[in-house]
Amino acid sequence: MAVRPTRRGLFGLAGAGAAGLLVGGTGGIAAAGGVPGIAGVPALSGGRDGGRQATVPFYGAHQAGIVTPAQDRLHFASFTMLAGTGRDDLIALLRDWSEAASMLTQGKPVGTGVEPDSLLLPPDDTGEAEGLGSGHLTLTFGLGRALFVGAADDAGEADPYGIRGRLPQAFEPLPSFAFDLLAPGYTGGDLCVQACADDPQVAVHAIRNLARIAAGRAHLRWSQLGFGRTASTSRAQDTPRNLFGFKDGTANLMAEDDGELAEHLWAGDEAPEWLRGGSYLVARKIQMTIESWDRSSLAEQERIFGRTKLAGGPLSGGEEFTEPDFTAPDPEQTAQPAIDIAAHMRLAHPLHNGGARMLRRGYNYVDGSNELGQLSAGLFFISYQRDPATFVRVQRSLKPDLLNEYIRHIGSGLWAVPAGAARGEFIAQALFE
Ligand code: HEM
């Protein structure tokens, strides 16, 4: 099925040579690479070849890309609605994006594909994912608070898209946190799209084509590439490592934890109907001062996290998945606990946050290096939680974190992630009904 952009979308694309979108008929080609999708097979392994064999269904009760076993690569994008756009534009955009996402996640091109009817027309699909298969691509869409209340939210009157009355009570802006150094170039946005795949080109192709489809309605505000997932979201996966060399994602919410997911991840009766079965996405771009870290001793590194570097076990003893004992004394300094009182793992643990839990789904990033010859690298932290207050609580409790000496939060965003769409529907449809 070809994706037919709405009139507004066509109008917006006109300047970019959108005539190709007007072409109907047989210009499209078959599924990328001709690899048939095997619906329901989850992404469990990385690598270009591994990613070609299976698709992750786009339609379902929850959006894909949350409990889906974390793929290896990320392209995260934040979009801003253009001035003068209204409710119909937003609806049309979400409809067009949903249709395109249903094709892209099957490894198929958007619209009429890479071959328009006439050589004089630009292709609907930009073509660089031809032959790569689906790469386990998932596309997860989120809505920013400004869509409900306007960017300024000054007089408390703004309602640009006619959805102010549907704003969930819990959808408060994130407060400022100690040590925040947020740059506008990595912060906020009306809409976000998280593209995850096992092949970076598949993820980039998806964002590029969604940005193209958005023309005339929304534009790409900032985006981030990520590699080397920093969390497992399924017990079938090995725990990966972050750029500090530590296992990351050991004590995460996992796809298999049904009861816990219902309690901590998915919005329920407390949320308006359109959000039930959805969640909230927090993204934080966290710069890591890699060079200073690399000069710190192993003992210091392990003290900071409260875990051993190689095996990932808690410093109170045991293996990676042994429960930490926060009361166990340090065998060498009997007056101190084995897990430092300001260790990252202690401060982030549910025991110290009123039981709060989140599903972490971040990625490493390296944006080249700076003029001092240091890597511009870090963690693109992503977490999903039923209530943004969970993130706020844990982030506040990380104020005395020993890790803070080696990191800086430089970007931030919070989006409400609606429930999944049924076939034939579009993401967030219930918000407009
Ligand atoms: C660059 C920044 C960060 C790094 C390198 C990092 C790394 C780690 C590592 C290595 C662990 C231990 C292994 C594990 O259970 O996953 C961990 C645990 C955890 N982190 Fe972080 N983290 C960072 C930022 C954050 C932030 C911003 C939050 C949330 C506000 C957070 C929340 C957690 C939670 C909830 C745990 C599990 C604690 C437990 O239950 O034991 N982390 N992190």
What share of the chain in percent tops pLDDT 90? 83
Separation of alpha carbons 29 and 111, rounded Å = 10
pLDDT, residue 332, reads 83
Residues 6+ apart with CB under 8 A from 309: 245, 246, 298, 301, 302
Q: Is 172 exposed, middle or buried (0-12, 13-18, 19+ CB in 10 A)?
A: middle
- Rounded to the nearest angstrom, the distance between the alpha carbon of 231 and the centre of ligand 1 is 10
361 lines ligand 1 (CB under 6 A): no
246 lines ligand 1 (CB under 6 A): yes
Mean pLDDT within 365-380: 97
Mean pLDDT within 232-260: 94
pLDDT, residue 19, reads 32
Position 47 pLDDT exceeds 80 = no
Cβ–Cβ < 8 Å for 41, 137: no
242 lines ligand 1 (CB under 6 A): yes
Cβ–Cβ < 8 Å for 346, 324: yes
Mean pLDDT within 232-239: 93
Average pLDDT score over the chain: 88
349 lines ligand 1 (CB under 6 A): yes
Residue having the nearest C-alpha atom to atom 8 of ligand 1: 248
384 φ/ψ angles, rounded to the nearest 5 degrees: -115, 135
**Under DSSP, is residue 227 helix (H, G, I), strand (E, B) or coil?**
strand
pLDDT, residue 53, reads 58
Separation of alpha carbons 58 and 420, rounded Å = 8
Among 7-21, 43-57, 95-109, 403-417, the minimum mean pLDDT is found in 7-21
Dmax (CA) for the chain in angstroms is: 79
Greater confidence (117 vs 416) lies with 416
Name the DSSP class of 208. Answer: H
Position 5 pLDDT exceeds 90 = no
Q: Is 355 exposed, middle or buried (0-12, 13-18, 19+ CB in 10 A)?
A: exposed
pLDDT, residue 150, reads 87
